[in-house]
């Protein structure tokens, strides 16, 4: 194969002559008319070539093609500033049309051979209302021209309502698509996640509601074009919030597996999460922020301050099943980077080649179904917040994230327990998220690497909740509203939807109660709400299980410092960016 693809000839870039060679994995060109010592070679990995077109092609701001006989244009992704990628474009001239056709054909074949995961056809969902409401503009001006250059055909749907993307993925024909792209924030990603996981289990005949079931990994890749408020999934898997970089990762078919946490209540599946399942502070911030959506991304800072000032803590019982401490630890000060060893070993464990040992993982989890508490650890008390995250959850507000040493794809999550403490100590904890200072090195903070977590209220709390809600209802003249369906999807899930609706009245109030009580009535509410990747959960008592590598993203994780150092040699400006993103 290597030898078939090899091609070598003279090529011109501008008026300089180069000796160019395609070896299969690399396209290299070296100045031909210079002394040996002065010769510079440019080497482009075929895997990073975006596309090849005949003629002289301009891409931005608008595509134009000058259809000449002896030219071809190559586009490649290249890192300009650290993790920020841009499109590099080179126009080559050949001595003859025959040679030009040979070059373009060889390059296209090399692309197919060496990057099998490159998408040909994508389903794109744009949320026109996410973040600063720029989703459409971002896609059409920055992303679509790159997809076109790469020869990707895309079917674009601008959503008209929440959950449209999820419902489409659950019900419509997806034949021929290699991946699904969401243009929006974490909420939009979550819709795609639910749609794809649900669809995959439906087709595999598996029951999503049973936490003991080993779910089937999704065959379609997910691409994220960031255009939301927090964009945590994009930040934690690509390292920057930049639509062009993300589009290039999609085009070249990068692949990053991701752990997913399923959240259950009684015998129902409530939701899936990849970044944050948070009770207490983060739940209250989300509930408060929903009233201020008009503020855009700033609503979280405003609500964060309001909730901080209301100074609350909540009683709860947290039980967790620790992960194997020999594999990794949330306090080991390592970071999950591209090609991470901990995650690679996890891939071998999760997807062993022999079908016999395939049952290892599922049998291990069978202990959930019979509720064996063997290895479970239980703690009870008052918490400022309880958070579970499957990955670092880094974002612009917190560049290292909720759990800086968490892994994207190791089959575990990190449980962060922040015990009730003095308001200033809690502020110190929050503030440490904004720097490299260790937020776990505080006496009231615990972090555990886990495979599953259960949260429940101490005895009698549920009654307090009912009483509190009754009181509140009388005070504000509350009426019953219909709960907006977040999980119902099709026939097999009707029961689940029904049970959600049945609990509607109480849950609506659980959402409003903490905020109103905290701010107006000056009474500490009994319960908070769960923030699940930006959605408020309708239940307080939940059970979470981490599913290793359930989905794959078009991303490659954060590239390590050495790779970034190369780019930093280009200019001082680059250097500062590289260090920032390290």
Ligand X SMILES: Nc1ncnc2c1ncn2[C@@H]1O[C@H](COP(=O)(O)OP(=O)(O)O)[C@@H](O)[C@H]1O
Contact 5, 113 (CB under 8 A): yes
Tell whether residue 435 is a contact of ligand 1PX (CB under 6 A).
no
Nearer to ligand 1PX, 241 or 343 (CB): 241
Distance CA 314, CA 527 (A): 6
Tell whether residue 130 is a contact of ligand X (CB under 6 A).
yes
Distance CA 537, CA 277 (A): 9
Nearer to ligand 1PX, 149 or 260 (CB): 260
Tell whether residue 229 is a contact of ligand 1PX (CB under 6 A).
yes
Nearer to ligand 1PX, 226 or 253 (CB): 226
Tell whether residue 294 is a contact of ligand X (CB under 6 A).
no
Question: Alpha helices, DSSP H only, in 53-156?
Answer: 97-114, 135-138, 144-149
Distance CA 75, CA 225 (A): 20
Nearer to ligand X, 51 or 130 (CB): 130
Tell whether residue 127 is a contact of ligand X (CB under 6 A).
yes
The listed partner (ligand X, Ca ion, ligand 1PX, none) that binds 129, CB under 5 to 8 Å by sort, is ligand X
Which span sits near ligand 1PX by CB under 6 A: 139-147, 170-178, 345-353, 390-398? Answer: 390-398
Report the 10 Å Cβ neighbour count for 10.
14
DSSP per-residue letters across 107-118 = HHHHHHHH-TT-
Contacts of 286 by beta carbon, 8 Å cutoff, 6+ apart: 303, 529, 531, 534, 536
Tell whether residue 392 is a contact of ligand 1PX (CB under 6 A).
no
Long-range contacts of 112-118 (CB under 8 A, 24+ apart): 113/1, 113/5, 113/24, 114/24, 114/25, 114/46, 114/47, 115/46, 115/47, 115/252, 115/253, 116/253, 117/178, 117/221, 117/253, 117/254, 117/255, 118/150, 118/251, 118/252, 118/253
Tell whether residue 399 is a contact of ligand 1PX (CB under 6 A).
no
Tell whether residue 430 is a contact of ligand 1PX (CB under 6 A).
yes
Question: Tokens standing for 533?
Answer: 């990747």
* Interacting residue ranges for Ca ion, rule: CB under 5 A: 259, 390, 407, 410
The listed partner (ligand 1PX, ligand X, Ca ion, none) that binds 305, CB under 5 to 8 Å by sort, is ligand 1PX
Contacts of 138 by beta carbon, 8 Å cutoff, 6+ apart: 183, 225, 227, 243
Please say if 186 is a catalytic residue.
yes
Distance CA 375, CA 325 (A): 13
Which span sits near ligand 1PX by CB under 6 A: 258-266, 374-382, 447-455, 530-538? Answer: 530-538
Question: Alpha helices, DSSP H only, in 433-478?
Answer: 461-476
The listed partner (ligand 1PX, Ca ion, ligand X, none) that binds 379, CB under 5 to 8 Å by sort, is none
**Number of residues this chain uses to bind ligand 1PX (CB under 6 A):** 31
Nearer to ligand 1PX, 71 or 231 (CB): 231
Residues in contact with ligand X, shown as a per-residue x/- string from 158 to 197 under the rule CB under 6 A: -xxxxx--------------------xxxxx--x------
Q: How far is the CB of 129 from ligand X (least distance, A)?
A: 5
The residue among 424, 568, 555 whose CA lies nearest residue 117 is 555
CA 20 to chain centre: 39
Beta-bridge mates of residue 416: 387, 447
Burial class (CB in 10 A: 0-12, 13-18, 19+), 463: exposed
Which span sits near ligand X by CB under 6 A: 38-46, 228-236, 429-437, 508-516? Answer: 228-236
Tell whether residue 531 is a contact of ligand 1PX (CB under 6 A).
yes
Q: How far is the CB of 406 from Ca ion (least distance, A)?
A: 6
Question: Alpha helices, DSSP H only, in 205-322?
Answer: 232-238, 243-251, 281-289, 299-310
Q: How far is the CB of 296 from ligand 1PX (least distance, A)?
A: 10
Distance CA 287, CA 283 (A): 6
Residues in contact with ligand 1PX, shown as a per-residue x/- string from 272 to 291 under the rule CB under 6 A: ---xx-----x--xx-----
The residue among 219, 245, 231, 298 whose CA lies nearest residue 79 is 245
Q: How far is the CB of 184 from ligand X (least distance, A)?
A: 3
Tokens 């075929």 sit on residue: 46
The listed partner (ligand 1PX, ligand X, Ca ion, none) that binds 282, CB under 5 to 8 Å by sort, is ligand 1PX
Nearer to ligand 1PX, 230 or 507 (CB): 230
Residues that bind ligand X (CB under 6 A): 127-131, 159-163, 184-188, 191, 228-230, 534
Residues that bind ligand 1PX (CB under 6 A): 185-187, 228-232, 275-276, 282, 285-286, 300-301, 304-305, 308, 393, 395, 397-398, 402, 427, 430-431, 433-434, 531, 533-534
User: Catalytic site residues?
Assistant: 186
């Amino acid at each position: 194969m290597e030898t078939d693809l090899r091609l070598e000839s003279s090529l011109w870039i501008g008026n300089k002559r180069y000796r160019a060679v395609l070896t299969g994995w690399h396209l290299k060109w070296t100045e031909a008319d210079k002394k040996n010592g002065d010769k510079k070679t440019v080497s482009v990995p075929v895997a990073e070539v975006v596309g090849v077109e005949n003629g002289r092609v301009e891409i931005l701001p608008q595509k134009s093609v000058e259809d000449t006989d002896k030219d071809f244009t190559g586009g490649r992704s290249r890192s300009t500033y650290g993790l920020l990628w841009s499109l590099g474009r080179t126009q080559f001239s050949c001595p003859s049309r025959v040679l030009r056709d040979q070059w373009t054909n060889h390059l296209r074949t090399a692309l197919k051979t060496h990057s099998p995961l490159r998408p040909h056809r994508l389903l794109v969902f744009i949320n026109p209302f996410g973040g600063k409401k720029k989703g459409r503009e971002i896609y059409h001006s920055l992303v679509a021209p790159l997809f076109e250059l790469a020869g990707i055909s895309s079917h674009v749907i601008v959503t008209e309502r929440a959950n449209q993307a999820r419902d489409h993925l659950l019900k419509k024909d997806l034949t021929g698509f290699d991946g699904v792209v969401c243009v929006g924030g974490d909420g939009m990603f979550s819709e795609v996640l639910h749609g794809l996981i649900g669809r995959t289990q439906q087709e595999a005949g598996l029951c999503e509601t049973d936490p003991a079931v080993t779910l089937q990994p999704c065959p379609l890749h997910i691409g994220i074009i960031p255009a939301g408020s927090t964009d945590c999934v994009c930040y934690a898997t690509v390292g920057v919030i930049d639509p062009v970089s993300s589009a290039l990762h999609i085009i070249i078919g990068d692949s990053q597996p991701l752990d997913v946490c399923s959240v259950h209540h009684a015998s129902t599946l409530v939701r899936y999460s990849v970044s944050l399942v948070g009770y207490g502070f983060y739940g209250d911030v989300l509930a408060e922020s929903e009233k201020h959506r008009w503020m855009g991304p700033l609503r979280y800072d405003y609500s964060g301050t309001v909730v901080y000032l209301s100074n609350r803590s909540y009683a709860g019982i947290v039980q967790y099943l620790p992960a194997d401490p020999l594999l990794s630890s949330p306090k080991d000060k390592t970071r999950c980077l591209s090609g991470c060893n901990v995650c690679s070993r996890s891939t071998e464990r999760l997807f062993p080649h022999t079908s016999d040992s395939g049952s290892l993982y599922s049998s291990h989890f069978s202990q959930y179904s019979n509720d064996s508490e063997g290895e479970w650890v239980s703690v009870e008390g008052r918490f400022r917040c309880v958070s579970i995250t499957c990955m670092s959850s880094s974002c612009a507000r917190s560049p290292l994230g909720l759990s800086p040493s968490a892994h994207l794809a190791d089959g575990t999550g990190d449980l962060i327990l922040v015990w009730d403490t003095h308001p200033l100590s809690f502020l110190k904890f929050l503030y440490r998220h904004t720097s490299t200072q260790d937020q776990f090195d505080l006496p009231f903070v615990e972090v555990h690497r886990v495979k599953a977590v259960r949260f429940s209220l101490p005895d009698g709390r549920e009654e307090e909740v009912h009483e509190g809600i009754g009181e509140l209802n009388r005070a504000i003249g509350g009426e019953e509203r219909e709960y907006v369906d977040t999980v119902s999807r099709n026939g097999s899930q009707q029961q689940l939807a029904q049970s959600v609706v049945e609990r509607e009245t109480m849950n609506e109030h659980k959402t409003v109660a903490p905020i109103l009580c905290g701010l107006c009535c000056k009474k500490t509410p009994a319960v908070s709400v769960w923030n699940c990747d930006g959605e408020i959960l309708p239940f307080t008592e939940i059970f979470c299980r981490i599913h290793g590598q359930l989905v794959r993203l078009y991303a490659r994780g954060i590239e390590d410092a050495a790779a970034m150092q190369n780019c930093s040699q280009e200019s001082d400006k680059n250097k500062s960016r590289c260090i920032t993103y390290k």
